[in-house]
Amino acid sequence: MAEIFEEVNDNEYGADQIQILEGLEAVRKRPGMYIGSTSLRGLHHLVYEIVDNSVDEALAGFCKEIHVTVNQDNSVTVVDDGRGIPVGINHKAGIPAVEVVFTVLHAGGKFGGGGYKVSGGLHGVGASVVNALSDWLEVDIYHEGKVYHQRYEKGQVCNKLKVIGDCDPEKTGTRIQFKPDGTIFEDTVFEYDTLKTRLRETAFLTKGLKIVLSDDRRGQEQEKKFHYEGGIKEFVTYLNRSKEFLYEQIMYFEGTKNGVYVEVALQHNDSYNESVYTFVNNINTPEGGTHLVGFRNALTKTFNDYARSNKLLKDSEPNLSGEDIREGLTAIVSVKIEDPQFEGQTKQKLGNSEARGAVDSVVSEQLTYFLEQNPAVAKIICEKSILAQRAREAARKARDLTRRKTALEGTSLPGKLADCSDKDPKNCEIYIVEGDSAGGSAKTARSRATQAILPLRGKILNVEKARLDKIYANAEIKAMITAFGTGIHEDFDISKLRYDKIIIMTDADVDGAHIATLMLTFIYRFMPELIKQGHVYLAKPPLYKLEKNKKIWYAYSDDELDSILAEVGRDQSNKIQRYKGLGEMDADQLWDTTMDPEKRILLRVNINEEEESEVDLTFNTLMGDKVEPRRIFIEENAKFVKNLDI
């Protein structure tokens, strides 16, 4: 990896390498433009911005350790042992460079000033935006035996940069502590698990870097260390821990081509899902881009060439598709590039054309060697791919048969679907209801114009353990696919969605939760866009009905029941019913509590794309074949259980 960074060591990283692009604008007025939102997601972005700057020092070869601490007052401290932000005067601005970094937007060592070769700091807005959105921020810099200090409040300088003490002349680095502004953020309480996921990912992607995350808040004290000498190879092991891998070794390829440093790790497992995550300069690119295209091209071409030349594919058989080869694949594709071009402000898709060629070239060449040297592994992968190809072909025939039937019978919707009369999808919603009895109540209760009901019988297929042909053969899943109208997988087309809201309505018990999880697994694996675009909801039926003096109250939680009882009084005339299932409610009650748009509670299902690898791992842990990871998950999360149904 040294060759891509070697220039950096000859260049200076002094006060004048900090380039000023423009003055600090009204970040406080429109924070969403700079950090995405003022929700919890935006709040955590503040930490990532500061940590990313330290990681850039690590990528340049100057930082070995980063400590992140959530303090008792919910401020955060980030300490690194890099070179320290320059303290000299920046001649363009006439003020110390550190002050430029924290008070001028688009200032930093990443804009061609020779300070960094590659960097991931978000559009160079990092430190100054964190400062602007903090109640206060303090920075200490260890430089040439002195400790420099400066404090800012709401982005404004409180005092000039001054020396506050001495330190070991060998010691270098930066310590930044900030407290987010409660008048800007909806919530200023950091979630340890959210930080843990992101920092673990960062440590996997930066081989050898040690990151320590501590929580010093009272009652929540904990510390986690992330340090992976194996880098992304260890990342693949971590992601595959809930799956049975098909072969022991993890393929690892690295190389530099046209100024792009490429690092790829991959291993197949016995599942049917593809889990490929791509990164550019340590930033997750959930929408992929040119590096992903290059990786897929190399994989498809190399495996087909190998299968043909080794007679694993007969001449009469068609080529394996990329999808067949990637069935059950877990892979990390990480590139480091000097001037990344992203499509969109959110940095979700890489646009650099040179990345495609670089990844394609490095993977093709090294994968070819690997397959030739490991024929047993190559055979296992090719055999799995050929099985996947046959299953895909069977699924295509089943799909074509369904389509032909549909063409012959007109728009043949499932027989048990009670559709709504309004034909504008924006006004329509579909309730997926467990069981025929609840389905009957729901059909009576619904508003026929806009609410459709699809009752499902029993538990649907667990798609985490099934191939595409089995999925198309399942009657309950077929009914859902037909009713939604979008198709699944490669046929998915969101413009054909027949309902704006897909509402999963199950009993408030263990079986109901299991059925809802099976449905969410299916939607997440085969129609993830429905979740990403906010079309999937969970209905929240009440847990209790309280009757007193001919008046009725519904409670959706134990706390709500307690507050109603505190209001109406606890005595003999209280009749409390604990609902076990939707079937216990008549149509009027179901409408009042769970289906009336004016009164009901719906929970929208969201995916945080920045944590997609963790979401994928959780689905696999809970719904996959391996018992041990599931047991560990239950032990770790048992303390959060509410409404335990024994």
Examine the domain organization and report whether 240 and 316 are in the same domain.
Answer: yes
* 640 confidence band (pLDDT: 50, 70, 90): low
Per-residue pLDDT reduced to its tens digit, 83-136: 999 999 888 878 898 998 898 776 555 544 445 556 655 444 578 889 999 999
Tell me whether residue 585 is in a domain: no
Task: Please report the pLDDT score of residue 642 as a whole number.
Answer: 61
* 330, 360, 391 - which closes a domain: 391
Tell me whether residue 401 is in a domain: no
Structural domain harbouring 289: 232-391
What is the CATH number for 358? 3.30.230.10
Examine the domain organization and report whether 113 and 186 are in the same domain.
Answer: yes
Tell me whether residue 75 is in a domain: yes
Task: Please report the pLDDT score of residue 338 as a whole number.
Answer: 85
Examine the domain organization and report whether 556 and 523 are in the same domain.
Answer: no
Catalytic residue among 135, 153, 216, 511: 511
Tell me whether residue 361 is in a domain: yes
Examine the domain organization and report whether 177 and 111 are in the same domain.
Answer: yes
- Cβ neighbors of 460 (< 8 A, separation 6 or more) are 474, 476, 477, 480, 515, 518, 519, 522
434 has catalytic annotation: yes
- Cross-strand partners of 279: 284, 334
What is the CATH number for 9? 3.30.565.10
Task: Please report the pLDDT score of residue 345 as a whole number.
Answer: 52
Tell me whether residue 645 is in a domain: no
Examine the domain organization and report whether 518 and 566 are in the same domain.
Answer: no
* 330, 359, 391 - which closes a domain: 391
Q: Is the pLDDT of residue 8 over 70?
A: no
Examine the domain organization and report whether 267 and 369 are in the same domain.
Answer: yes
Catalytic residue among 12, 186, 436, 509: 509
Tell me whether residue 501 is in a domain: yes
Q: Which of 193-197, 362-366, 433-437 has the lowest mean pLDDT?
A: 433-437
Examine the domain organization and report whether 296 and 213 are in the same domain.
Answer: no
Q: Which pair of tokens denotes residue 133?
A: 């959105």
Tell me whether residue 646 is in a domain: no
Catalytic residue among 99, 360, 434, 464: 434
3-state secondary structure of 511: helix
625 has catalytic annotation: no
Determine the average pLDDT of the residues in 220-242: 95
What is the CATH number for 453? 3.40.50.670
Task: Please report the pLDDT score of residue 573 as a whole number.
Answer: 83
Examine the domain organization and report whether 506 and 569 are in the same domain.
Answer: no
Examine the domain organization and report whether 42 and 178 are in the same domain.
Answer: yes
Number of structural domains, the chain? 4
Helix (H) or strand (E) holding 108: strand 107-108
57 has catalytic annotation: no
- Cβ neighbors of 20 (< 8 A, separation 6 or more) are 90, 92, 93, 100, 104, 106, 107
Asked if 236 and 204 count as a contact pair (C-beta separation under 8 A), the reply is no
Examine the domain organization and report whether 557 and 537 are in the same domain.
Answer: no
* 198, 227, 256 - which closes a domain: 227
Q: Indicate the burial class of 40 (C-beta count within 10 angstroms; 0-12, 13-18, 19 or more).
A: middle
Catalytic residue among 81, 201, 215, 507: 507
Per-residue pLDDT reduced to its tens digit, 205-221: 999 999 999 999 999 99
What phi and psi values does residue 419 have, to the nearest 5 degrees? -80, 165
511 has catalytic annotation: yes
Tell me whether residue 307 is in a domain: yes
Examine the domain organization and report whether 373 and 250 are in the same domain.
Answer: yes
Q: Mean pLDDT in the chain?
A: 86
3-state secondary structure of 237: helix
Examine the domain organization and report whether 446 and 381 are in the same domain.
Answer: no
